[in-house]
Every structure is written in structure tokens, then in C-alpha cells.
Structure 1
Amino acid sequence: MPAHTLTPSIVLDRVSFAWPDGSSALTDVSGAFSAVRTGLVGRNGSGKSTLLRLVAGELSPAGGHVTTSADVAYLPQRLTLDVDRPVADLLGVSATLGALRAIESGDVDPSHFDAVGSDWDVESRAHVALAEAGLAPGMLDRRVGELSGGEAVLTAIAGIRLRGASIALLDEPTNNLDREARARLAAMVRGWRGTLVVVSHDVSLLELMDETAELYRNELSVFGGPYSEWRAWLDSEQSAAKRAEVAAAAVVRREKKDRIEAETKIAQRQAVGRKAQFEKRVPGIIAGNRKSAAQVSAGKLRTETRDKESAARSALDAAERRVRDDGTVRIDLPDPGVPAGRRIAKIGDGARSWVIQGPERVALIGPNGAGKTTLLEHLLHGASESSVLYTDRVGYLPQRVDGLDDAATVLDNVQIAAPEVPVTELRNRLARFLIRGSGVDRPVSTLSGGERFRVALARVLLADPPPQLIVLDEPTNNLDLDTVDQLIGALTAYRGAVLVVSHDDAFVKRLGVSLLLELDAEGALTER
């Protein structure tokens, strides 16, 4: 696998980590990241976020070592914010800025000069950072609570750049970002200096990377190119591996056949020899010599054929190991019994409204902060006369998966939505979401972001009776690309109505929506 040969800035040496319940997150992972932009990919639950937290020092490995060449800045997947903090705190310049302003007001306390150091232009650089995040300079002293979720993420990333961290780790930075915010993030990434490791399922962001790293079954491999080149290489490699597997299996069959034929010949020769000896009354010494020679010849033939078959089986084993046998989520949604003309819901802004009926697919788009999630909440909780539900069978997956009971198991959380379904059947259904065996009994608190989302998705889609309306708020934020494909397939075949909020243009297009509504910054809905 081609990769750059630059000096590594992050080195992992046989790193292992397990959660408090004993479940393993990473085992003997080794690898390195260079001082370039690297996209880190892998299936949900492969340990990507855990790996970043280990590199950032938030977690300590149970075994092995993590070595970094410089200071590390980390943006977690779920940015926890104190809404009353000033924006300067989010940028990481609050202390320096406060000291600078104290000096400017005449306070000559030496501690202020120590705090500023040589960073006398911190305020002007902070203004540039805010501009990168799409905020006006006047926002520097305002509260974080006045920012949208997307603005807060961009501001935190701009703060990492502003502080000049040599190593930056970003976990799913495009989650909840609208088109404009994603464009601003892309501009930041294009001009990034130093080591940047980005965990993301956003293909457009991954295309900006110099390298692509994959965490797969506790193996970290690095490819020297962006996601599309890596994907093409992987597809080609897997095609070759499957051809090699077929060829190796054919050799095993041939060598097995040769061994069986050889054993048959040996048995026939032995039978003929015994018969000849009996009929011709060959003297004992001569018969013994012939028998010994025959045994030596038979032994050589057996050894040769068995060795060839053994070598062929070893080659087949090696070929099979190259072929990935990845499980894929299989989502089969039951028929909710919604006739084509059945009114399911009405959604509007007070001035206009649109009716959702039958198996209709509706998408709601708009910039961060426009109020899309609020509009959904009004619909679901009857807080608006212009947005009304005509069914009580609704499955809702919010943008932030905060409705799960962290202390309860996966099974307990899902069983809430399907209390009449036998546990055995529910386990079988969860297996289709790649939640199998002991994973069903794990506490939700031990799951990765992607795994938590999959559990929440399972609870919505496995509800009994099945929902007549499925409402999804940014469903692709935490799903790997293969699971997104499965979700689209399931929703396409689903016989109920679907209402989705998404900034993922590709997802909306592939879903085949019949009604596309855009909510502007003023709260007005228009049909596109």
C-alpha cells in the first residue's frame, strides 16, 4: 500500500484499550501518522474515536505506548459547551486577551505581561480566526450560547489553528454543518499546516487529505492519497484477493483429488502384489524385499501428495485472509400499512403548509440556526397549528442521540420500543444491525458514537408496531458509508412516510425525495 515516507509525528506501538466492563476497544494496534493531512476511516465501532482520545491523552492505554512529537489539540465528536462562556474561551485566547486588555487599561501587574508573552497581536489574529468561522469580530466577547452548533464547531477548529498546535485531531467535524459552514471548513483544511488527523464519513472532506488511514480489525494502515484513490486501490486489491482465493481453492481441490487417486493406486498395487506372491509362491526373502521397496515407494508418494495438498491449503488460508468478510447492516422494515392517499402529517411555517401523505419522502434543508430542529419539535409535540401529526405511530431519531439510557444495556434500550417482541427475536433483529452476541448486553455508555447511533436507529426502525412516519434529523452524521447505503435502501423500500433533515446533498438525492422544503434564516419555508 503506497504511503508517504515522512517522519512520523504520532506513533502507536502495540496499543490496547478496554472499557471498564472489560470489552476491548483496541488490541495491539501499531502504526504512525506523518505531519500531513490524514483522513482516518473505518467502520462504526472499529475504535477510531478511541484512538484519537488515546493520542490526545484523554484516555490511557492498557498496553503499549503512544508517542507524539509535539503538543496535541483535539476536537471531540460531541463538543460539550458551556453556553455562558465567552467566544474567546472557545478560541482558547481568553486568558491572553484578558491580560492584554488589562495592560492596555494601565494595569502593569507583571503577571499580565507573563500571560501575554510575545502574543501582542492576539486580538487581531482572533478576529481573523472568527472570520474563518464566519463570525464578525464583535462576537469575540459574546456568549457561546449565541452561536449555532455548526458555528461553535467551526470556532473551536479556528481556535486550534489560532493556538498553532502542531498536531490537531478532529473527530467528525462536519457533523451538523450546513453547506456554507462545510465550505469554510474545507478552506481551513486546504491551508492547514502541521499534522492533521480527521475522522470523518464525509467523502468531500476526505478528498482534501494527503493520506488515508484505515483502522480495520485492530490494524492501522496508511495509504498515500485521498479517499477516492484509497477506495479504488482497496476495491482493486479485494478483486485480486477474491480471484486468488478462487484459484487457490481450485488448487486445493486438484491436490486433494491427486492424493485420493494416489492412495487408490497404492491400494491397488498392494492388492496385486499380495495376489502375485500367493499365486507364484515367491520365496520369503524376495517377497520381503519387494514389500519393503513397495512400502518405500508408497510412503514417498503419500508424503509428496500430502505435502502438496497441505501447501495448497496454506495458500488458500492466506488468500482467504486477504478477502474481507465484512458484515453489513441489513435493514428490513415491516409494512406499516399506510395507504397511498393517507394523510400522515402537515408541516408549515405559519403562512404556508404542506401535507405529507402515504409513502412520501420529504427533505427539510436550510442553514445552521434557521430552526429546522425546532420545526421538527413543534411538529412532534403539537406546538404549532401549522405543523400537525395525523398519526401517533412516529419514529423519531434526533440529531443528538441523547434519548438512550447510558446505564442500561443495548437490549434494554431497544426493548422499550418493542416490549411485546420476544427477546430471542429481538436479538435476531439486532444482529441485522451488526449488534450481536455479548454486544447486545453491553451498557450503552461503553459504545462509540457510531454504535450509539446504530442502537438509536435500531430502536426507531424495530419499533412494534412499526412507525407510519419516520423522522430523521441528520441521520448520516455518525454512520459509516456502507451503513448509509443500507439505510437508503431500507428507506426507499419502506411503505410509510419519511421526513428527513440533512445537510448531506448526496443522501437527499439518493433518497429520492418528492418534496424538498428549505427553511431560511427568517423561519420561512419554501418549496424547491
Structure 2
Amino acid sequence: MKLSVYLSTKEIMLIVQNISYIHLDKTSLFNNLNFTLPTHSKTALIGQNGSGKSTLLKLIAGLYPVTTGQIHTVENPYYIPQHFGQYNTLTVAEALGIADKLHAFECILSGEMTEAYLELLDDDWTIEERCQESLQHWQLEGISLSSPMALLSGGQKTKVFLAGIEIHKPNFILLDEPSNHLDLAGRELLYDFILTTSATLFVVSHDRTLLNLLNNIYELTPTGITTYGGNYDFYCEQKEIAVNALQHRIESQEKELRKAKQKERETMERQQKLDARAKKNVGKAGLPKIVANTWRNSAERSTAKIAGVHLEKTTNISQELRALRTQQTELDKMKFAFDTSNLHFGKTLFQGEDLNYMHNTKCLWTPDLNFSIKSGERTAIQGKNGSGKTTFIRLLLGELLPARGKLYRATEQIVYIDQEYSLINDQLNIYEQAQTFNQTALQEHEVKIRLNRFLFDKDEWDKPCHALSGGERMRLALCCLNIGQIAPDMIILDEPTNNLDIQNIDILTSAIRDYTGTLLVASHDNIFLEEIGIQRHINF
């Protein structure tokens, strides 16, 4: 819906007014959401997994209808989704919505200059040249406009839609996790685009490098959207201030609760002494029974009233304290609790000599690989999309055999965690999955305590694993390793942050930092690699 005429199109690109969205299963995702996007602003939308970020982008893009409320835009946005499966039956040109225009262009060049073709082309005589330049800029050499989308990798599909920006030249762009499948070179191109474009951007991302290039952070929570006028580092500073203020409030409430309870004890002790003295005096005074009973009842009512006043006060403080504590972070609870790996530091776990693997009758790596991985090291493997990082991991795991060269392997105690967290069995529920790692025969209540520690309360123990979000799968995987207790010699992580929100990346980072064994990580997230203490790199 176009922006109302009374609003200045020079200042505001988007207005969201009192929108609500209810899923087909009748659950409400958000209610009475309100915010605006200034023209030329570069804004991030962050929030926990499941908060509705991707759905909100689809509502703005017009792919979903709002349940109530209105969305006004100056012009239709160009939308780059997070997932591209819906385009697998199309060619690159069809996915970009330019197939008809290209066909008209080709027909006109061949002499069929009909009115219909001229209308379709709309004087866009540079369309073909612009397409080729855009595909080349986004490192899509060898991919044509007629290439099937189904044959492209996730990173290539993302680049196709990024190339579409130069083709369509939109002024308003929605991007949903645009760096998820990009290699380092692709990310650098994306970062450069974000820095130089004058278009209005609204970006869902957990890529902290990208988030620091944006000048506004909008945080989506169940209560609405909170805006922060700065980049992600500024947002973190503000959140830290809020966390510190929360801690001070908790400490203040704890102190007030202790004082209230002490005052309650002192008041009750004093009242009890007064009641005892009054009772003794009544007995000595020899008053009629009815008068003595009246005095005793009055004393009891007074004591009960005092107790009630103090109980109400301590109860109110306790409730406020519990409410404040629920806002505290859970990061410190979610740590690996197993013993240190028994391998002595510096032992060679893997060694490759002139190693290579055949792919489509060609060797994957030039030159052959020569490497070693030693116990206690924290190593990152990096390279372009398609350079063979996952193949390298599968060789280490013994799932593939090298085409030539030698691979020495000295360890079998390896935990492999891919970006889908496939060690989770989708046929089980959460509690059943946890029990599959209960190798030391923990009691049922001990398993459930660990599930609670990783934010799975009793209402979720029967939840099927196939219904878990990326963040939930990650937390359950960490919980399972915690339940297993026996430290693996090595943990291998393959793009572990791709499907996580920022909170869950923090949880994973905190847990991995505590692991004392050998770590091998394939990731394009340099901030994550830095925070988990990577010491060396293997580059392809």
C-alpha cells in the first residue's frame, strides 16, 4: 500500500501501523506493532529465533497478509529471502523476474519490434549488459541467466539475488540473513555494498560485522520493537548498561528483602513480649473472665495484623525480585561440565601428506594438502564456497577416503556438530534425545536438571526434536554433550552459527570457550572465531 499523501516521501520510506499477525494454527506472533523507517536509513532487525523477524519482512514485502493493521511503503521493496527452495524450478532470469523482459529484448533485436515487446522492455536497452556485469561483480562467473537455480549452492543463490539489486536498482531493500551462505570474499562484497548504497535497507542478520555497518538497530520482542540509534556495538553498550542497572536493582531488592524480614522478626519478637507481659498482668489483675478474653482477643488481632502487614510487604518484594531475576541472562548456566580430555597437549591427532580428493575426475585441491592437527589446538578452516571444507572434515571423520596421499588418524573420540545439528535425532522428543547421551547412568531427575539448565523446562520435554528451531537444536546438542560428561578428544564445528540468532551465538560461544580439548571450526564468522580463541588457520 502506498504511503499516504500527507506524509513526506523524502523523509519516510515505511510506516507500520498497529499490525498483528496470527498463524494458521491461531497462535499470535505479534500484536499492535508500530514503527517507521526513514528514507536512506540502514536498519538492522534483531531478535530471538521465533520472534517473527523473517515473517515481518515477508509482511512488508507483501508475501503475507497482515491480520490487522496497515503497512505503508513509498515504493515496493526488493526482497532477498533467507531460503531459496521455492525458486528451484526456475532459471536465474525467472527467479529475478526478468525473463519476459530479456525475451522481449532478444525478439526486438531479431526484428520483432511489436508494441507488446516494446512495452515489456520499457526502454531498458541495457538490461542484458547490466545483468552480465552484475553476475560478474558477484563472482558468478560460469553462471548464465538460463542456469537452473536448483543447481546452484546456497551462496550462489544469495549472490544471484544480490546481483538483482544492480539489475532492478530498487530504493528500498529487505534482506533476510544475507551473509548466511556467503564465503569471506562474498561477505566483503556485501559489506562494501552496504557501506556505499544510498537505498533504504532493512536487514535481518546475526552477522555482527554486518550489523556494525548499519546505523540503527531495531530489536523485536514479544512486547514490540525497541529502537537504538546506533550500530551493533552501540546496542551492546546500551544493553550492558541495562544489564548492570538490572543487577543493581536485584541487589537493592535483595537488600530490601533482608531488611524487611529482619524488621518483621524484630517487630514480632517485640509484640510477642508485649503480649506475654499483658497476659501476665491480666492474670494478676483478677479481672472478670469476659474482660480478660476481650484483652487477649485484641492482642491476638493486633499481632495478626502486624504479621499480615509484614507478610504483604515481604511477599511484594519477593515477587518483584523473582520478576527481575527472570530477566537475567542464562549464559553462565550453559557450560560444558565434563572432565578435561585425557590426551596430552601437543600429541599429533591428524597428519596429511600430499592429500587430495577426486571430485568430477579432478583433484579438489591444488596443491595437495600437507597439514597436522595437534591435541589442544584451536584451528579454523576457511576458504571460498566450494573449496572443499566439508569434504576435508569428512576425510578426517573417515566418512570419505582420499584419492591420493596419506592421512594419519590417532583419535576416535570426536564429536561432529554441523550447521543443522544433525546429531539430534528428529524421531525422538527432547527428553528421549537427552537420554541417548546418558552414558554414565544419571538418574532421571539429574537429566531433567540439565535440561532445565539449557532452558528446556518440563513443558518442553515431550516436544518432538523435528519441531525445534536452530537455536533450540544447538542448546539441546550442548545439553547432550553435557549429559555425556566424558570429554571428547576433539569437537568439530561446521558453520555452527549459520542458523542461530545473536543470543544463541553468545550461548554457543560461552560453552565452547569452556571446552579444554581440541577444536576444529569451519566458519566465515571472524568475530565468533576470535571469541572462541582460534589459534591457527588452515586455508583452502
Please give the TM-score of this superposition, normalised by the length of structure 2: 0.75
Listed as ranges, the gaps of 5+ residues in structure 2 are 1-10, 357-367
Q: Distance in 1 between matches of 2:141 and 2:55?
A: 35
Residue 105 of structure 2 aligns with an amino acid whose one-letter code is: L
Of 381, 384, 401, which aligns to 1:383? 401
CA shift at 1:502, angstroms? 1.6
Q: For residue 529 of structure 2, what is the aligned residue in structure 1?
A: 508
Distance verdict in 2 for CA 1:130–1:32, change over 3 Å: same
| CA distance in structure 2 between the partners assigned to 1:503 and 1:177 by the alignment | 8
CA contact (8 A) 1:345 1:387 kept: no
Give, in whole Å, the separation in 1 of the partners of 2:463 and 2:235. Answer: 33
Higher mean alpha-carbon deviation, 377-386 vs 331-340, is at 331-340
Match of 2:92 among 87, 90, 105: 87
Query: Residue 81 of structure 2 is aligned with which of 55, 76, 84?
Result: 76
Given that 1:245 and 1:316 are in contact with CA atoms closer than 8 Å, whether structure 2 keeps it comes out as no
Find 2:227's aligned residue among 222, 233, 239. Answer: 222
The verdict on how the C-alpha distance between 1:302 and 1:7 changes in structure 2, with shifts beyond 3 A counting, is farther
In percent, how many aligned pairs have the same letter? 26
Q: CA deviation at 1:159?
A: 2.2
Alignment partner, residue 104 of structure 1 = 109
Deviation string 1:263-288 (CA, Å, 9 cap, x unpaired) is 5555655666676677678999xx99
State the match for 2:471 in structure 1.
Answer: 450
Q: CA deviation at 1:204?
A: 1.4
CA RMSD of aligned residues (A): 4.5
Measured against aligned partners, the alpha-carbon deviations of 1:82-132 in whole angstroms (never above 9, x if no partner) come to: 668543334332232222222222234544344334544433443454355
**CA–CA distance in structure 2, aligned partners of residues 13 and 138 of structure 1:** 41
- Check 1:80–1:152 CA distance in 2 against 1; reply closer, same or farther (3 A cut): same
User: Partner of 2:415 in structure 1?
Assistant: 395
User: Which residue does the alignment assign to 2:207?
Assistant: 202
SS at 2:376 equivalent: coil
Q: Secondary structure at the match of 2:497?
A: coil
Residue pair 1:411, 1:440 contacting (<8 A) in 2 also? yes
Q: Post-superposition shift, 1:217?
A: 4.9
Q: Superposition pairs for residues 16-165 of structure 1, below 5 Å?
A: 16-17=22-23, 26=29, 28=31, 30-35=33-38, 36-53=41-58, 55-56=60-61, 65=68, 67-70=70-73, 71-80=76-85, 85-117=90-122, 119-127=124-132, 129-130=134-135, 132-135=137-140, 139-144=144-149, 148-159=153-164, 162-163=167-168
Aligned length: 506
Alignment correspondent of 1:524: none
Measure, in 1, the Cα distance between the counterparts of 2:417 and 2:178. Answer: 20
Partner Cα separation in structure 1 for residue 468 and residue 532 of structure 2: 28
Which residue number in structure 2 is paired with residue 409 of structure 1?
Answer: 429
Using the TM superposition, give the Cα deviation of residue 216 of structure 1 relative to its aligned residue in structure 2, in angstroms. Answer: 3.7
Q: Deviations over 1:382-408 (max 9, x none)?
A: 321446363444332334556766565
Counterpart in the other structure of 1:523? none
| Correspondence 1:325 to 2:328 | yes
- 1:180 and 1:171 map into 2 onto residues whose CA distance is 19
Distance 1:213 1:103, change over 3 A: same
Structure 2 counterpart of 1:237, which letter?
Answer: A
Q: Give the residue type in structure 1 aligned to 2:203.
A: V
| CA distances 1:184-207 after superposition (whole Å, capped 9, x unpaired) | 111222345555332222211111
Q: In structure 2, which of residues 162, 179, 196 is the aligned counterpart of residue 174 of structure 1?
A: 179
Superposed displacement of residue 229, structure 1 = 1.2
2:365 is matched with none
> Counterpart in 2 of 1:9?
15
CA distance in 2, matches of 1:423, 1:271: 51
| CA distance, structure 1, for counterparts of residue 250 and residue 525 of structure 2 | 38
Q: What CA distance in whole angstroms lies between the structure 2 residues aligned with 1:333 and 1:376?
A: 24
Residue 208 of structure 1 aligns to a residue in which SS?
coil
Of stretches 333-342 and 432-441 in structure 1, the one that deviates more from structure 2 is: 333-342
Distance 2:275 2:479 in 1: 65
Per the TM alignment, residue 232 of structure 1 is displaced from its structure 2 partner at its CA by 0.9
TM-score normalised by length of structure 1? 0.76
- Quick check: 1:246 aligned with 2:263? no
